[in-house]
Chain A
Amino acid sequence: MSQHRMSRTFRYIISITLLLSSLWQHAGAQDTIMFPMKVRLGFELLGSSKYFYEKERTNLEFTVSADLNERVSAVLSLGKTDHSYKRYRDTSFLLYNYTTNGTYYKAGLDFNLLKADKSQGKYFVGMGIRYGISHFNYEIPEITTENYWGKTVTKVPLTDEWAHYIEFTPGVRAEFIKNISMGWTVSLRKMIDPGTGRHQKPVYLPGFGNGSKSFSPGVNYYIIWSIPFRTKRVIIQPEPEEEEEDMNNPNQNSDMNNNGGFRQQSGASRF
């Protein structure tokens, strides 16, 4: 009886030892990387490039962002737009002539979905959220309407307004050469207040786009200069599920070995 108890106790000890040793191995598999925290200065290319073939619209936008940690950055944008738009019903009938110019400011956060070991401070795949304020003036020197009584021409004098909106910006960014990145974002903008009342919503709102609608999509393409300002020690948690899948799939494993980019493989080669 006592021999049987001793044998059970011995088995428990061995089990606990094996469990602890496996946990220790997992803890040991954690990687620590030095993550470069950066300040980024960006310039929007699409808006300014349009000037070369669409003279009636000028848009300049600069962006400053700073890493708060390896996943989150604070972003500030400043832009300026001059826009003039004429809409014709047919070649001889000008419906209206709209001119606007203004400055817009956006503040918000970018969230990188890539882990620190994948992003390395160089790559971004994620989502941003911004709050935008546009300070603009607009003038409609000519509005033509026509009904039973004939043609009428009227105008709206120069008016100064503030508008508010929010913007969601899913996008990607990659460093092509050292500290120089390029990236694009889709801008999904939702109007909070156009500032003009409901009758004269802005035909074009600086920083927002078509202000006659409450939702305005767009695309931005940036070139970015990154300035590292400090490094941060980041612990990378292992991904046991992926490793198990890799072990169970010999074909996949051999592909990975060919690529030679995996931690286990490089660790094994040290011995």
Chain B
Amino acid sequence: MSRQLSVILVLIFAVLLPGLNSCVDISCTDETTAFVKTGLYSYSSGAKTVPDSLTLYGEGMAVKVYDKATITQPALIPLKDSADYAKFIIKINGIADTIEFIYWSYPHLISKECGYSMFHTLDTVIFTRNNIDSLARVNPNVTTQNVENLQIYY
């Protein structure tokens, strides 16, 4: 009994030790960017309606988030990680409006492999009414989860 146990112990240890001491590096497969997930709705019917074209870009930015695009809902609006304010120009079917976000940010660990993402909590949303009829803030917590934060009625 004792001899058997001892041999089993030694064998298991000999087999396991090299494996235990080598680390397996797992790559990141999770979503790591938190967007303001914005649903676009028709104010007349109240139904989710994809506009014919959508253009969206940050104030002072040359690069556009959407450029006359036909999007799949929801539209994803990225906030500035380094600030508590961001302003966007949004053109729905060619008519321009602005949306301003006031929020606060905090780091959230996605996983050891993926690292951190900046999550945000929306405080205030200000918008113009050229084409936008109204706007509803349905969830102030901007995370990597697929949950709608904002509803734009146009």
Contact = CB atoms under 8 A, between A and B. Distances in A.
Contacts of B2: 120, 122-123, 174-175
Interface residues of A, number: 42
Given A50-B21, A154-B107, A200-B107, A145 B117 contact: yes
A147 B78 contact: yes
Contacts of B119: 199
Contacts of B63: 148
Given A95-B115, A147-B33, A174-B9, A152 B109 contact: no
B12 interface: yes
A95 B78 contact: no
A174 B80 CA distance: 59
Contacts of B21: 46, 49-50, 53
Contacts of B5: 123, 125, 172, 174
A210 B112 contact: yes
Contact of A145 (B8, B17, B58, B81): B81
A96 B33 contact: no
B36 to A, nearest CB: 12
B9 A183 contact: yes
Contact of A152 (B61, B82, B108): B82
Interface majority SS on A: helix, strand, loop or mixed?
Answer: strand
Interface residues of B, number: 38
A199 B109 contact: yes
Interface of A: 46, 49-50, 53, 85, 87, 89, 95-96, 118, 120, 122-123, 125, 140, 143-145, 147-149, 152, 154, 156, 172-176, 182-184, 199-201, 203, 210, 212-213, 219, 221, 261
24 contacts: A53-B21, A120-B2, A145-B32, A145-B117, A145-B118, A147-B33, A147-B78, A147-B81, A148-B65, A148-B78, A149-B82, A152-B80, A152-B81, A152-B118, A154-B82, A154-B118, A182-B13, A183-B9, A184-B16, A199-B107, A200-B107, A201-B109, A213-B111, A221-B13
Interface of B: 1-2, 5-6, 8-9, 12-13, 16-17, 20-21, 28, 32-33, 58, 61, 63, 65, 78-82, 86, 106-109, 111-119
